[in-house]
Amino acid sequence: ILDLLLATEYWLSFYSTRLEGRLLRIVGGLDVQILSPGGLDRVGPQDVGELCICGDTVSPGYCRSSDNDGRFVELDGRTYLRTRDLARWVEPGVKLEYCGRCDEMAKVGGKWVDLAAIEKQMQEIPAVSEAKVSFGNVRHAFVALKPPDPDLGDGHQTSIDVDSIRRALPHRTSIHLLAGMPRHAATGKVDLQALLRAVTDEDLTQSLRSRRGRVLCRFSRTYCAAMEFCRGDTRRMICLAYIWYALFFSSDFKFCRNIIAEHFPLQGVVGVLLCMCRTLTLQQLRH
């Protein structure tokens, strides 16, 4: 009995026997290269790399051209499909061993690490029910915690051992503790993209809060200094109102303008002058 390996992008390309397991033999007419993941260099005889294939049974591309980005590579005048599968040669040109998916491996400190093995190690920690890691430009570890056992008192609940979680991860990995994992409705698999979007939204919120704080701090100092500088001097008050006009009504200062309007309501002479600024043109204001 032969097992045939088929995919959406290629068919009748590899086969194996039940006895050989993860070892795959190449169907005649197929050109196979094992390259460094994301690169163009051929790997050594025993090294793991990305499986790239070319031949009559390989699709020339997707219907939407945008889907082809990063999926094909030109090598020696031929176009190869990047399968995103990892493999290593057993008999070069004849037989290879399947080693997993590219998105299940990541390079850390110059070495390839198995992300599934890291997730398994984290899930062996008593308080962890599920774990998912993503090692892109930034390393993230998403950890779903086991719910409290209602039959146990507060003093007997399993404690969260963050140090054990951290020891299972490479250096500089951000840990996110969750009550549960988002899942794809159709497959039931963990939705990693939803997790990463949540992290991006959280980082953006923190960035905006930090930026907001800096704006408020700087403006409060400027506000106090300007009021002291303009006290009792009408000409300086008019200059201050002109500056406020630039801050409030220039589209380049929208973010600052909203914060200032919310936290620093204008009163007295400055408020009157600002109302004038809103009704007068810049040319009239200059006069």
pLDDT per residue over 246-257, tens digit each? Answer: 655 554 556 665
Burial 63-93 (b: 16+ CB within 10 A, else e): eeeeeeeeebbeeeeeebbbbbbbbbbbeee
Q: Which DSSP symbol is given to 190?
A: B
For the chain, percent of residues with pLDDT exceeding 70: 64
Helix, strand, coil percentages for the chain (3-state, nearest 5): 40, 30, 35
Q: What angle do CA 14, 6, 88 make, to 5 degrees?
A: 45
Q: Contact 38/50 with Cβ under 8 angstroms? A: yes
Whether the pLDDT of residue 165 is over 60: the answer is yes
Report how far residue 285's alpha carbon sits from residue 287's, in angstroms, rounded to the nearest whole number. Answer: 5
Determine which of 45-49, 105-109, 124-128 has the lowest per-residue pLDDT on average.
105-109
Question: pLDDT value at position 32?
Answer: 92
* Mean predicted lDDT score pLDDT of the chain: 76
Identify the band that residue 241 occupies on the pLDDT scale cut at 50, 70 and 90: low
Question: pLDDT value at position 156?
Answer: 47
User: Tokens 């988002």 label which residue?
Assistant: 182
The domains of the chain, with CATH numbers, are: 14-103 (2.30.38.10), 108-208 (3.30.300.30), 211-279 (no CATH)
Tell me how far apart the terminal alpha carbons of the chain are, to the nearest angstrom: 94
Q: Tell me the pairing of strands 128-135 and 111-114.
A: unpaired
pTM of the model: 0.45
Determine which of 47-61, 65-79, 85-99, 199-213 has the lowest per-residue pLDDT on average.
199-213
Minimal CA–CA distance to 264: which of 209, 210, 221? 221
